[in-house]
Structures are given as C-alpha cells and as structure tokens.
C-alpha cells in the first residue's frame, strides 16, 4: 500500500472529443474517498458500446461529458480502499461494474430486476457519488465512463460498483464478464429464459451475440440460427453451436420472412445483438405468434423502433435487457467460478490481445468486423 492516500501517476487512453482517436497519456488518479476503491486495472475488453459512445455520440447515443476515459469491461486488483469500505482489501481480484448492486434500493430488494439505481444519474454522467471523477489529465477533470474507466492503468470505483472474484481467475479473460459475455449469456438464460428443445434466432454474431448463442446452447436449444451481414463471423458462430448461418445480404426478401419460413412459422426466441432499430423489428417479426419472445440486447438510446402492434396482439413478447439480468455484485463471481469449472467459455471470444497504446487499433478491428473481442493488457 505504498501509494495509499496519495495520487497515482499512470497512463490512460483519454477521449478528448467525440469522434476523435483516443490519446494515451499520463493521468493522475486520486486516492479513493469514503466508500470507494482504487484498483490497478490489469486487462480490459473493448466493447461495441465504448466505440458507440465515442463515434455515435449525439446520434444513436446521448452525448456524454468529455473528456472521458472509456472502457467498462475490465478486471484488476485492489490497490487501496477508502474509509468505510469493509468488503475489499488490497490484493483482492475484482471486476468493476457499470451496473451497481447496492443491496438496499427497491430494485435490489426485488427479485424481478437487476437495475440498481444507486448513483445511477451520476455514473451515467461520468462522475462518482460526490459529483466528481478521480481521474485528471493536464489539470483537467476527466470523466469516468459509466463510473468505471477501464482504459486506464488505475481507476477508482464506488464500492457498490465492484465485485470480488475467485483468486484463481485469469483477469485477461474474466474481464469479459464485466460486460459483453455476461450480457449476451444472461439475455438468453435470464431474460428470454430459453427452454430445452426450442428454436432460437440470434441476430448479430459479435461477442454479445456469441454469448447469447452460448446461453441458448446451455439451455438446451434444439436449433440456433445465427444472422450476420458479415460472413466472416460464421465459422466461429458454428463452433459456439449455431446450427444455421444466415446472411441478410444473400436474400432479396426481408430477413424476418426468411427466418419465419426456415422455422415453419417463427422462432420461439429471437435475440437482437446488433443495436440497430431495423434489426430489432426483424427480430420481433421473426418470432412465432402465440408465444415467441424477442429480447433486445443491442444498444441505442435516441433512435425509435417501429413495430406493428399486431405482432404483440398475436401473443409475441418484446423485452429488453441491461447487463443480461444479472444482479451484478452477487452473480458475476458465480459466472467466474463457472468459467473456472470449465462450464463457461471465455477464451473463445478473444481474437486479439493488445497494449493500451494499441487501443485505437482495437476500435478499428471492432468497427471493421475483424475482431470478436480485443483484450487490452495493461
Ligand atoms: P460487435 O460490433 O462485436 O457485433 C455486432 C455484430 O452485428 C457484428 O458481427 C456485425 O457484423 C453484426 N451486424 C451489423 N449489422 C447487422 C445487420 N443489419 N444484421 C445482422 N447483423 C449485423 O458488438 P458487440 O460488442 O457484440 O455488441 C453488440 C451490441 O450489444 C451493441 O449494440 C452493444 O452496444 C450492445 N450491448 C448491450 C448491452 C446491454 O446491456 N444491453 C451490453 C453490452 C453491449
Ligand atoms: Zn459493453
Ligand atoms: Zn440497489
């Protein structure tokens, strides 16, 4: 605890303006205040949502305060803790959580939801409970994306936005449980509640979609149809258990018509893992009437989705999910243990391992459809 109580000088990828490349530079990370924890980030996945808040700011996404340090799919080790923190000690392996679990709010007390409201408005605006961030660069406050900021060698989170994990966990793998893999997997098992023998459609075969496929397969789906406009995604999808691959660009008809025909009336479950309002509509319409369930996982905040109420009147259910329905603090360590027991894939999502200096390259790989997950190793 040599640096306990003192600011730490380290490196982070700073997003100075929307749409611009990240700039890796020296930052200061202040010590944790009461009920906060400072962590040494060891690894971070690069999620589509990081890219979207940089490049889609003001379009699909709300404009968040800049400058900011992105990254919300990290794993690390506790460096020091602020006053009043009892659940964490220096050296603990941890996963920072963009979705907290305070254990006290009405949502935490309900088994129906994972949407804890603790400090929600503040972390969405890039600050911690006291309205400030712990990261600064060249004397300017730098906002913390979703209260996390894992594209930094050190960061500070609220104790409610952190979970302790098994000491054997490989941090450059379990970081994926901080967002993408947990989200897609939970969308299938917790939100769609896929049943044995069912027919599933997963639209979008990036990390979130492949994790949804993994959830459908573990729930015993008889058939999992994978849909993507990038055919390079199909080989890996088959390895994850996709039984049929469909490229909408190979068809002149709307993709939902193709899917309804392939499934003799529609899928039992459809999961949208793209973040496109047209694909969301296709997902709903590719579900069968009477009991088909469509789950929206892909992210957009400002765009509107069109739908015909008739599709709902005919018994389809439309749902969405934030972080796959997991109660973050209590459930994520269990997913880590499932991975350690060999029951949950993580290695299979990793296509690239890069350094912090290569973070812009990671974004290019993601936007160009060449990666599933790049892991930034600090
Ligand atoms: P990704 O970019 O790796 O994958 C998206 C995939 O969709 C790509 O393979 C792409 O080729 C495919 N695609 C693009 N347009 C398509 C179309 N018209 N039809 C079919 N496929 C199409 O992204 P990801 O990291 O896997 O994230 C997927 C989505 O999930 C994003 O919108 C992300 O913001 C969102 N997300 C949501 C949550 C949540 O809590 N709900 C959490 C994490 C990510
Ligand atoms: Zn994410
Ligand atoms: Zn709560």
Condensed to tens digits (0 to 9), the pLDDT of residues 321-334 reads 999 999 999 999 99
Most informative mutation of 99, 208, 328 for ligand 1 (most atoms within 8 A of CB): 208
Query: Are 39 and 77 spatial neighbours (Cβ–Cβ below 8 Å)?
Result: yes
159 vs 195: CA distance, rounded Å: 36
* CA dist list (Å): 317 to 175, 196, 296, 311, 313: 32, 19, 11, 9, 9
Which of 67, 75, 84, 55 has the alpha carbon at shortest distance from 24? 67
**So what's the pLDDT on residue 32?**
98
Protein residues with CB under 6 Å of any ligand 1 atom = 47-49, 52, 179-180, 183, 203-209, 227-230, 233, 248, 273-276, 279, 297-299, 321-323, 366, 369
Q: pLDDT category, 57, cuts 50, 70, 90?
A: confident
pTM above 0.85, yes or no: yes
Kindly indicate the confidence band of residue 1, based on its pLDDT and cuts at 50, 70 and 90.
Answer: low
Q: Which residues of 287-296 are buried (b: 16+ CB within 10 A; e: fewer)?
A: bbeeebbbbb
Residue 73 has pLDDT above 90, yes or no: yes
Smallest CA separation from ligand 1 atom 13, residue: 204
Structural tokens at position 70: 């992105």
Ligand nearest to the CA of 202: 1
φ and ψ at 348, to 5 degrees?
-65, -10
């Amino acid at each position: 605890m040599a640096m306990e109580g003192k600011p730490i000088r380290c490196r982070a990828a700073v997003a100075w303006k929307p749409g611009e490349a990240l700039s890796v530079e020296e930052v200061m990370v202040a010590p944790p205040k009461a009920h906060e924890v400072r962590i040494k980030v060891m690894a971070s996945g690069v999620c589509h949502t990081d890219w979207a808040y940089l490049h889609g700011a003001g379009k699909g996404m709300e404009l968040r305060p800049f400058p900011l340090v992105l990254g919300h799919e990290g794993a690390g080790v506790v460096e020091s803790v602020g006053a009043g923190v009892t659940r964490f000690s220096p050296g603990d392996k941890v996963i920072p959580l963009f979705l907290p679990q305070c254990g006290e709010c009405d949502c935490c007390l309900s088994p129906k939801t994972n949407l804890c409201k603790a400090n929600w408005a503040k972390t969405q605006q890039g600050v911690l409970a006291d309205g400030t961030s712990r990261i600064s660069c060249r004397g300017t406050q730098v906002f913390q994306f979703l209260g996390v900021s894992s594209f930094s060698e050190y960061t500070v989170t609220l104790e409610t936005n952190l979970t302790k994990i098994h000491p054997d966990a490989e941090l450059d793998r379990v970081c994926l449980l901080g967002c993408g893999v947990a989200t897609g997997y939970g969308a299938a098992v917790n939100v769609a509640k896929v049943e044995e023998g069912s027919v599933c459609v997963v639209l979008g075969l990036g990390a979130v979609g492949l994790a949804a496929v993994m959830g459908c397969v573990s729930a015993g789906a008889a058939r999992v149809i994978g849909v993507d406009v990038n055919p390079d995604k199909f080989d890996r999808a088959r390895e994850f258990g996709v039984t049929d691959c469909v490229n909408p660009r190979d068809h002149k008809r709307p993709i939902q018509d193709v899917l309804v025909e392939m499934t003799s009336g529609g899928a039992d479950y459809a999961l949208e893992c793209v973040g496109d309002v047209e694909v969301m509509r296709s997902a709903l319409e590719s579900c069968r009437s009477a009991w088909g369930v469509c789950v929206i996982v892909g992210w957009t905040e400002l765009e509107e989705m069109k739908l015909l109420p008739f599709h709902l009147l005919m018994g389809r259910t439309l749902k969405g999910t934030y972080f796959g329905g997991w109660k973050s603090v209590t459930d994520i360590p269990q997913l880590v243990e499932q991975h350690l027991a060999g029951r949950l894939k993580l290695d299979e999502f990793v296509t690239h391992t890069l350094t912090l200096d290569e973070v812009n390259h990671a974004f290019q790989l993601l936007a160009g459809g060449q990666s599933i997950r790049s892991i930034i190793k600090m």
